[in-house]
Amino acid sequence: MYNQNCQHLWYGFHAVTMQGGHYNVIEDAAIAVDEGVISWVGSFADFSGQADQGTDLGGGWVTPGLIDCHSHIVFGANRSREFELRLQGASYEEIARSGGGIANTVKSTRQASEAELMKRAELLLLDLMADGVTTLEIKSGYGLDLENESKMLRVARRLGEQWPVDIVTTCLAAHALPPEFNDADTYIDYLCDTLLPVIAEQKLADAVDGFCEKIAFSPEQIKRYLQTAAELNLPLKLHAEQLSALGGSRMAAELGALSVDHLEYATEDDVKAMAEHGTVAVILPGAYYMLKETQQPPIVLLRENNVPMALASDANPGSSPVRSLRLMMNMACSLFGFTPEEALAGVTCHAARALGLHDSHGTLTPGKQADFVCWNIESPAELSYWLGGRLNKARVKRGVRRDI
Ligand code: DI6
Ligand code: FE
């Protein structure tokens, strides 16, 4: 029984709280909200207080608002031309080495104004939000100098001010070598001595990320960059083991990274290090699928070692032009053997942890922000089952209904 009064009582649905990474089904549920925060969740029959306002959502299932913990939605132009080249047999690495790929997007992003970047990013943001996303991480990484990385991060921050979504910004300046540098060590020096301190000082980024790969930066270079970020009190993340096994994920875990992302080539040692340091594994099926990768991330090992597995869109113009996080849930199940329950945990509570937001986001529990979505479905597995379509019937952000 709950006999406290509340500002707003939501009812007329079944709910999954996702606490501890499990559904924890509550049939005929109700959620009490005060000041945008959940004050109680339980069975409607157990509510005996007074509510200033009540909303009957009229059936369906409520989940925590979805959290997309890895995206690159701010960019100048799309790369559908490279998609055509890949369909004709060119590989992602070949395209990157011949001046396309990330370098291509750097060019268009540097040329674009903030207003133009904003307009383009909004199209992706609104699609993700319409599909249930209430919190989104956005990386820079297509500017590769102080002026343009700052520009990208400001656009990301502004998106969060203009739309009912929480935006977490990540500085990904160590994404690729910009054309004006011909030596990666010198560029890393610039990032450590100049760019990161300014980004930190201006509070433009909530975290720092890099790309540890043969076509990007070595584990030694990335370590120097991440250590500098840690000294500036910025949380760490890393793109690692996407195309080859370099041990970047282990190195980042040892530095206390919040998450390591991609992980197709991660080894058992990498997984053990993630488990030991509480680092989240972020799985990105969109890039795996688009690049026709055949090496699967070590899901069984991650599961056996109790490493929390988050799932994200990696939405970007090159390797993962994804506009639906729910589609990633399907791919994680169909391609990688996730259960639908693991897939939902991957876009709620584990995604919150990957962003360091687990105290305020990711589950339907008292004290957390009242971000939730009501879906027009008869069982939670349907979230991973349907490919595309409009499943959500109501979207609540900080206790206020904000349908998209
Ligand atoms: N891995 C990715 O999947 C994105 N960045 C990265 O390091 C791809 C970025 C792109 O191709 O534009
Ligand atoms: Fe990425």
pLDDT in tens, 251-273: 999 999 999 999 999 999 999 99
Give mean pLDDT, residues 98-113. Answer: 96
Q: How many whole angstroms from its chain centre is CA 266?
A: 19
Looking at ligand 1, which residue's alpha carbon is closest to its atom 10? Answer: 318
Are residues 60 and 153 part of one domain? no
- Considering the domain boundaries, does residue 291 fall inside one? yes
- pLDDT band for position 99 (50/70/90)? confident
Query: What pLDDT shows up at residue 206?
Result: 98
Interval between CA 269 and ligand 2 midpoint (Å): 22
Interval between CA 244 and ligand 2 midpoint (Å): 15
pLDDT value at 221 more than 90: yes
Interval between CA 268 and ligand 2 midpoint (Å): 22
Residue 104 alpha carbon, nearest atom of ligand 1: 12
Interval between CA 6 and ligand 2 midpoint (Å): 41
Interval between CA 403 and ligand 2 midpoint (Å): 28
- The three-state secondary structure class of 51 is strand
Give mean pLDDT, residues 106-135. Answer: 98
- Considering the domain boundaries, does residue 392 fall inside one? yes
Q: Is 317 in the pocket of ligand 1 (CB under 6 A)?
A: yes
Question: Ligand 1, from 238, 316, 322, 328: best to mutate by most atoms within 8 Å of Cβ?
Answer: 316
Are residues 135 and 154 part of one domain? yes
CATH of the domain at 367: 2.30.40.10
- Considering the domain boundaries, does residue 1 fall inside one? no
Query: What pLDDT shows up at residue 26?
Result: 98
Are residues 190 and 178 part of one domain? yes
Give mean pLDDT, residues 186-193. Answer: 98
Q: Are 358 and 115 in contact (CB under 8 A)?
A: no
Please state, for a pLDDT cut of 70, what percent of the chain lies above it.
100
Query: What pLDDT shows up at residue 190?
Result: 98
pLDDT value at 39 more than 90: yes
Are residues 389 and 292 part of one domain? no
Are residues 193 and 303 part of one domain? yes
- pLDDT band for position 87 (50/70/90)? very high
Residues near 328 by beta carbon (within 8 Å), at least 6 away in sequence: 284, 285, 286, 311, 312, 313, 322, 343, 347
Q: Is 102 in the pocket of ligand 1 (CB under 6 A)?
A: yes
Looking at ligand 1, which residue's alpha carbon is closest to its atom 3? Answer: 319
Are residues 315 and 182 part of one domain? yes
**And the tokens for 233?**
């009190």
Interval between CA 385 and ligand 2 midpoint (Å): 25
Q: Is 211 in the pocket of ligand 1 (CB under 6 A)?
A: yes
Give mean pLDDT, residues 233-251. Answer: 98
Residue 314 alpha carbon, nearest atom of ligand 1: 3
- Considering the domain boundaries, does residue 48 fall inside one? yes
Please state, for a pLDDT cut of 90, what percent of the chain lies above it.
99
Q: Is 242 in the pocket of ligand 1 (CB under 6 A)?
A: yes
Residue 213 alpha carbon, nearest atom of ligand 1: 7
pLDDT value at 390 more than 90: yes
Give mean pLDDT, residues 284-308. Answer: 97
Are residues 379 and 230 part of one domain? no
Dump pLDDT digits (tens) for 298-333. 999 999 999 999 999 999 999 999 999 999 999 999
Are residues 16 and 56 part of one domain? yes
Q: How many whole angstroms from its chain centre is CA 231?
A: 24
> 34-43 burial, b if ≥16 CB within 10 A, otherwise e?
beeebbbbbe
Instruction: Note the ligand closest to the C-alpha atom of 71.
Output: 2
What does pTM read for this prediction? 0.98
Query: What pLDDT shows up at residue 28?
Result: 98
Q: Is 316 in the pocket of ligand 1 (CB under 6 A)?
A: yes
Whole-angstrom distance, CA of residue 133 vs CA of residue 125: 9
Dump pLDDT digits (tens) for 360-374. 999 999 999 999 999
Looking at ligand 1, which residue's alpha carbon is closest to its atom 7? Answer: 211
Give mean pLDDT, residues 175-198. Answer: 97
Are residues 60 and 75 part of one domain? no
pLDDT value at 131 more than 90: yes
Are residues 39 and 119 part of one domain? no
* Structural domain boundaries, residue 389: 6-64+362-401
Residue 101 alpha carbon, nearest atom of ligand 1: 11
Q: Is 101 in the pocket of ligand 1 (CB under 6 A)?
A: yes
Looking at ligand 1, which residue's alpha carbon is closest to its atom 11? Answer: 318
CATH of the domain at 229: 3.20.20.140
Question: Ligand 1, from 314, 322, 328: best to mutate by most atoms within 8 Å of Cβ?
Answer: 314
| 96 vs 154, higher pLDDT | 154
Residue 142 alpha carbon, nearest atom of ligand 1: 12
Q: Is 95 in the pocket of ligand 1 (CB under 6 A)?
A: no
Q: Is 217 in the pocket of ligand 1 (CB under 6 A)?
A: no
Domain count of the fold of the chain = 2
- Considering the domain boundaries, does residue 22 fall inside one? yes
Q: Is 320 in the pocket of ligand 1 (CB under 6 A)?
A: yes
- Considering the domain boundaries, does residue 293 fall inside one? yes
Please list the residues that pair with 53 across neighbouring strands: 8
| 93 vs 136, higher pLDDT | 136
Are residues 101 and 37 part of one domain? no
Whole-angstrom distance, CA of residue 294 vs CA of residue 310: 20
Query: What pLDDT shows up at residue 287?
Result: 98
Q: What is the mean pLDDT of the chain?
A: 98
Q: Are 167 and 159 in contact (CB under 8 A)?
A: yes
Are residues 348 and 255 part of one domain? yes
Q: Is 75 in the pocket of ligand 1 (CB under 6 A)?
A: no
- Considering the domain boundaries, does residue 120 fall inside one? yes
Ordered DSSP codes for 250-266: HHHHHTT-SEEEE-TT-
